[in-house]
Amino acid sequence: MSSVANISDGREILERLSRQGPQGIAETSVVTSPGARTAAWAVKVKSLSSYNVYDVRAVVIGDPGSLPVEIGEQMQAVNIAESFLADGQLSAGTYAIMFRVGDKNVFHVPV
């Protein structure tokens, strides 16, 4: 009986150490459910806010030969293709795919 208890305690200790790390740094994990997916939208760049942060607006892509229709409120998104320390050079009117990463909206459009 004590052998089973020691094995159980040992597994619990190993699990705690693997999650906490050697310097007490906690492991960060993300749990998703079946069918979960990354949220993504087509957006149109409206203007530069600051550095590589832009004001964007979601668009709905219609039939071939029709212009995308802007929907919803304007929001901010970061162009990760540009420097985080300099003003962005992306032109207003550019279309991109925006993803939600953590609490930030990001897109990647090389200039």
Domain-embedded: residue 8: no
Say if residue 1's pLDDT is above 80: no
List pLDDT tens digits, range 32-76: 556 666 678 999 999 999 999 999 999 999 999 999 999 999 999
Name the CA dihedral angle for 82, 87, 89, 95, rounded to a multiple of 10 degrees: 70
Q: How many CB atoms lie within 10 A of CB 25?
A: 8
User: Can you say whether the dihedral through the CA atoms of 8, 12, 13, 14 is positive or negative?
Assistant: positive
Domain-embedded: residue 99: yes
Domain-embedded: residue 86: yes
Mean pLDDT score, 85-105: 92
Range of the structural domain that residue 85 is part of: 40-107
Q: What percent of the chain has pLDDT over 70?
A: 68
pTM of the complete model beyond 0.75: no
Supply the mean pLDDT for the chain. Answer: 82
